[in-house]
Amino acid sequence: MKTKDVAPSLEKIYKNAGDFLPLNGTDYIELYVGNAKQSAHYYKTAFGFQSLAYGGLETGLTDRASYVLEQDKIRLVLTTPLTSASPLNDHLRKHGDGVKVVALWVDDATKSFEETVARGAKPFMKPVKEEDENGFVIRSGIYTYGETVHIFVERKNYNGLFLPGYKAWKSDYNPAPTGLKYVDHMVGNVGWGEMNTWVEWYEKVMGFINLLSFDDKDISTEYSALMSKVMSNGNGRIKFPINEPAEGKKKSQIEEYIQFYEGQGVQHIALATDNIVDTVTKLKSRGVEFLQVPQSYYEEAKLRIGKIDEEISELAKHGILVDRDDEGYLLQLFTKPVEDRPTMFFEIIQRKGAQSFGKGNFKALFEAIEREQARRGTL
Ligand code: FE2
């Protein structure tokens, strides 16, 4: 497999991407959770998300409750079933808390559905028009890997807070934001031998292009390995790296995820900030737990990275990782899983020119994950 550290020319590559599915950005990310009320409290308290909207019995929903949170351009929806009859329970029982919907903002949800289904997508939801006094929204959806779905959201004729069926969520408890701005990328874990199937699926069904590839030589430690390919849409606003386990002496972290998620799913959501030191300081003070690399990482980073705006000692103090590519550098840090199952986690990222994904950190990072796996007895 050919390994490219940095894409030769992003513009050239993007130009070749399909234009039958124009995407304006990530619309929302919906997690199915065991107790949405309590999860919402966690995301407000720990991550600084703000209360935006609520849907439930009070707004005419009979089988579920959903809390919508926002921080700058990021919208999270936390949904829990209200009765045992709800099909949401099947998802929850199998996967635990996790991402069900990666919703994409489009100008035409009907065309998005038709174009992708014609190219082989499995339908999840035919185009549906939902309306209230603020106008109407059209949504449609298709399955991607596992039981995860993409919902296309057309909201050009809507000026309500979120979607019809939701009301404003006014809360007296409003912890300050932590500086999180937008979704930088979202990573999917797929099973053995499945990465190229899903790379081809994103190419064929959604017109994405393969921006970067990492093979098991790039991403391996003494014990375990994985492979990864980064898929991007035509304007570069949507980036979905896809991971597959690779053979190693011990169990790949991707295998561990698939074992506990009981299938393929979203591994991590990368959220961008303009000031990672400030954001991470706030997140830590509010109880968000991060992976730790040894201090020796920073000795090596000094040599590897060269001159940057931040003091390496400051990064070391906060445990922030740094990597460089031809276009600049990036700062990043990864949380521990945010559920009891070792499944989904978050990445906090600040880009300073670099458009890559921190290849230089993979080894240090995965060794940190392995230390956690060893503690769980799942390495
Ligand atoms: Fe990432």
- Ligand 1 centre distance from Cα of residue 334 (Å): 8
Could you tell me which of 41, 355, 348 has the C-alpha nearest to residue 178?
Answer: 348
- Ligand 1 centre distance from Cα of residue 133 (Å): 39
Handedness of CA 160, 161, 163, 164 (dihedral sign): negative
- Ligand 1 centre distance from Cα of residue 186 (Å): 7
- Ligand 1 centre distance from Cα of residue 326 (Å): 18
- Ligand 1 centre distance from Cα of residue 167 (Å): 33
pLDDT at 213: 86
Could you tell me which of 199, 364, 191, 223 has the C-alpha nearest to residue 291?
Answer: 364
- Ligand 1 centre distance from Cα of residue 265 (Å): 14
CA atoms within a 13 Å half-sphere pointing along the CA-CB vector of 333? 25
Residues 337-376 as b/e (b if ≥16 CB within 10 A, e otherwise) read bbbebbbbbbbbbbbbebbbbbbbbbbbbbbbbbebbeee
- Ligand 1 centre distance from Cα of residue 12 (Å): 23
Place of tokens 């705006």: 309
Please list the rounded mean pLDDT of every run of 10 residues in the chain (379 residues): 47 63 96 98 98 96 96 98 96 98 98 96 98 97 98 97 95 97 97 94 95 79 82 93 87 90 98 97 97 86 88 92 92 96 97 88 80 85
* Cβ atoms 147, 95 nearer than 8 A: yes
How many other C-beta atoms can be found within 10 angstroms of the C-beta atom of residue 292?
14
pLDDT at 2: 41
pLDDT at 357: 85
- Ligand 1 centre distance from Cα of residue 156 (Å): 30
- Ligand 1 centre distance from Cα of residue 270 (Å): 6
How many other C-beta atoms can be found within 10 angstroms of the C-beta atom of residue 65?
20
Could you tell me which of 261, 254, 269, 256 has the C-alpha nearest to residue 93?
Answer: 261
- Ligand 1 centre distance from Cα of residue 188 (Å): 10
Please report, for the chain, the start and end positions of each structural domain, with discontinuous segments joined by +: 14-168
* Cβ atoms 55, 32 nearer than 8 A: no
pLDDT at 181: 98
pLDDT at 16: 54
- Ligand 1 centre distance from Cα of residue 60 (Å): 38
Give me the helix-helix angle, 253-261 and 362-376, nearest 10°. 50
Residue 65 tokens, joined? 């409750």
- Ligand 1 centre distance from Cα of residue 335 (Å): 11
> How far does the chain reach from its first CA to its final CA, in angstroms?
26
- Ligand 1 centre distance from Cα of residue 347 (Å): 6
- Ligand 1 centre distance from Cα of residue 341 (Å): 19
Residue 150, beta-bridge partner list = 102, 142
- Ligand 1 centre distance from Cα of residue 267 (Å): 9
- How far apart are alpha carbons 121 and 223 in whole angstroms? 36
Residues 24-35 as b/e (b if ≥16 CB within 10 A, e otherwise) read bebbbbbbbbee
CATH architecture, domain defined by 14-168? Roll (3.10)
pLDDT at 4: 47
Question: What's the one-letter identity of residue 237?
Answer: R
- Ligand 1 centre distance from Cα of residue 130 (Å): 34
Place of tokens 């991007």: 232
* Cβ atoms 341, 197 nearer than 8 A: no
pLDDT at 332: 95
- Ligand 1 centre distance from Cα of residue 333 (Å): 9
Residue 118 tokens, joined? 């014609």
- Ligand 1 centre distance from Cα of residue 199 (Å): 17
